Structure 1
Amino acid sequence: MLHHGGMSTTTPLQVFLTHTEEEFAAYYGPAGLAGLLAHARVVRNTTGRVLAGRELAEAAAGCQVIVAHRSAPGNAETFAHAPALLAFLRGAVDISTIDVPAASAVGVLVTRATPGFTDAVAELAIGMMVDLARGVSAAVCAYRAGREPVPPMGMQLTGAMLGIMGYGRIARRLAQMALGIGMRVQVHDPYTPPREPGVAAVSFAEVLASSDVVVCLALSTPETAGLFDAGAFAAMKWGAIFINLSRGELVDEAALEATLDAGHLRGAAMDVGQAPDQRPQPHLARRADVVATPHIGGLTAEARDHQMMDTVHQVAALAAGRMPDGAVNAADARRLRQFWA
């Protein structure tokens, strides 16, 4: 079942919003919908399912724009069966599930949102460090189960060494926060070495060997797939903490599980994994030495609104005949140029 909203009298644009009701409540919301309705007619996905492939194309039939939640892929089958489609807008930074060459081949524009979640993810990293360093979740779970927890000997973060793999926006913000609570910080990034005072540039081997807490914030590329494998975990300090806030494919999860089984690490935390929608694998998330969250790093009102409004601004630009910010393949957007002609 599809629900049709209102339409501006000045533009023929029609937008399909892929978000399920659950996704809409958490990742878009009434303010974003109102913003879209100021520039286009909106068709909502009320099927209760994440749509993909030909089914997505058929649901969006007649729409010139698809605004897609991260769960909805943009694959070749969708583009092949959506002759009216001009643009596929991802309401997130990650476009790994969009077949950009397939979109370009038929002249469809692909866009992405800008990162609005830097502070939110960095704050979650700090929370995970504190949790594992002091056994917070373990104690909470014991109390809730009616057991008296055994007080653990904690790791003090003040003076501890934080090692960050990757040095993008989130890593830089995390480094600032960590320095603020008295941690020492070292980073490995072969493309963006740190230059800030108090942040040391070291090798990947040094990050592993001398860090009390290792946080994976590297970009997901073919070269970084499986970056944290059995060898990497074996090279980490005994009793260290490992946190993954990047992408699930950067971690060999079987190797992580074996390392935890061996007691080599104090614990691990993850907001991402190799389950659907980049969520942690349930069998890992259930472990007592793991703190897992269901891909909520950017799930704050501030982060949501930032990326939501990026898509609204992109639709406004399309309706006004302008190439929107965040365009990935503007040179190949032949359908748009024909539409505007």
Structure 2
Amino acid sequence: MRVLLTHTPEMRVNYYPDRALAALRQVAEVVLHDGEAPLSGLALARAAAGCQAIVADRATPGTKETFDNAPDLVAFLRVAVDVSTIDIAAASSQGVLVTQATPGFGASVSELAIGMMVDLARNVSEYTVAYQAGRLPEPRMGRQLEGRTLGLVGYGLIARRIATVALAMRMSVIAHDPFAPIEDAGVESVPLDRVWAESDVVMPLAVSIPATRHIVNAASLAAMKRGVLLVNLSRGELVDEAALAAALGSGHVAGFAMDVGSAPDQRPDPALAARANVVATPHIGGLTPEAAEHQAMDTVRQVADLARGVMPERGLNAKKATRLARLGITPSAAPSG
């Protein structure tokens, strides 16, 4: 079996570690992408000529143009949970299987979220920048988080871990998620308007779907307490950055921390990140060896299954993946994974 690994050399260092690459080479012939920019569209299809699978990093989209021009392709395997940049309908129309990885970043992202919350509450980055610039910062009153209310929008893996730590810090935790039960002891399930109105710290952690685009907007920001802290480590599109910039400028939002944003590869917008009351990191929430290797090894197992003629886990369109027959796999009667 022949596989194209789409990661650029820089991306491979961080997101497809040597152990995973060696394991992938044990189960397939691997073609590496050595360009500096991500592949997409027709260029991706041409790079995948002769390959039965594409193992795609998060910056490599799966477009209709790619699927329509890759006659050898059987499977498109995303080394991430997010598949919002993959045109699954177009893949299905060509009989190509699309898979995703399992979440391996729960610990790393939740740890960063707690750190960012503390940073905003105690002005850690502000003081650090001043000292590093040779200035002596003036101490000012910070916020104690014990007794404050943390509001979570979305209650998945990361939110549950954050809630556990916040409760241990003796914060109150409220959460809203219309799709997931909120049954953990100490966490109150509330309507969304109560999250906005009652929280001292708000973390949008919802999945990125059309209904959640700009869920943090001018109206929801206005409904929050003056001086609220906001932390976004989920998806950049959850936040209307223009509305947020206005709220930061007026002081209605006292501080914003972000690991994601509207810049390429979900990175923070540089103009927003440059503000004095913003703390930003370049989409590194899942950038730990444990998290990166977890998701890379998921795709190794998926390729190994394909090579053995077995339906891989985490298939999203198995019913319509008719090209699997080329590998001796009967398209599943129901999605696997």
Q: Which residue in the other structure is 1:330 paired with?
A: 318
Aligned to 2:95: 107
SS class of match (2:3): strand
CA shift at 1:36, angstroms? 0.8
Aligned to 1:61: 49
User: How far apart are the structure 1 equivalents of 2:305 and 2:92?
Assistant: 20
Of residues 222, 228, 237 in structure 2, which corresponds to 1:240?
228
Q: Secondary structure at the match of 1:241?
A: strand
Q: How does 1:1-341 map to 2 (within 5 A)?
A: 13-340=1-328
Shift of 1:245: 1.5
Q: Which residue of 2 aligns with 1:3?
A: none
CA distances 1:12-49 after superposition (whole Å, capped 9, x unpaired): x0000000000000000211111111111000001222
The Cα shift of 1:332 comes to: 1.0
SS in 2 for 1:104: helix
Q: What is the rounded CA distance, in whole Å, between the counterparts of 1:153 and 1:311 in structure 2? A: 48
Residues in 2 aligned to 1:288 and 1:248: alpha-carbon distance in whole angstroms: 19
Counterpart-to-counterpart distance in 2, 1:253 and 1:310: 34
Provide the TM-score with structure 2 as the length reference: 0.96
Q: Distance in 1 between matches of 2:106 and 2:81?
A: 12
Post-superposition shift, 1:150?
Answer: 1.4
SS of the counterpart of 1:249? helix
Structure 2 contact 80–102 (Cα < 8 Å) conserved? yes
Aligned residues between the structures: 329
* Contact 2:149 2:173 survives alignment (8 Å): yes
Q: Is the 8 A contact 2:307 2:327 kept in 1?
A: no
Measured after TM superposition, the shift of residue 246 of structure 1 is 1.4
Deviation at 1:70, TM superposition (A): 0.4
Could you tell which deviates more after superposition, 327-336 or 130-139? 327-336
Distance in 2 between residues matched to 1:80 and 1:218, nearest whole Å: 32
* 1:191 CA drift (Å): 2.1
**In the aligned structure 2, how far is the partner of 1:60 from the partner of 1:47?**
14
TM-aligned CA deviation for residue 225 of structure 1: 1.0
192-201 or 280-289, which deviates more: 192-201
Q: Counterpart amino acid of 1:29?
A: P
Q: CA deviation at 1:147?
A: 1.1
Q: Tell me the SS of whatever aligns to 1:85.
A: coil
User: What letter corresponds to residue 218 of structure 1 in structure 2?
Assistant: A
Misfit runs of 4+, over 2 Å: none
Amino acid at match of 1:206: R
Say which SS state the counterpart of residue 267 (structure 1) adopts: strand
Instruction: State the 1:335 CA deviation.
Output: 0.9
- CA drift of 1:241 comes to 0.3
- Measure the CA separation in 1 of the matches of 2:186 and 2:17: 41
**Distance in 2 (alpha carbons) for counterparts of 1:320 and 1:30:** 23
Give 1:265 shift: 1.8
AA matched with 1:77: E
**Match in the other structure for 2:334:** none
What is the root-mean-square deviation in Å for CA atoms of aligned residues?
A: 0.9
CA distance, structure 1, for counterparts of residue 37 and residue 195 of structure 2: 42
Q: Secondary structure at the match of 1:173?
A: helix
- With normalisation by structure 1, the TM-score equals 0.95
SS class of match (1:234) = helix
> Unaligned 5+ residue runs, structure 1?
1-12
Higher mean alpha-carbon deviation, 13-22 vs 40-49, is at 40-49
Q: Partners of 2:223 and 2:205 in 1: how far apart?
A: 18
| Identity within the alignment, % | 58
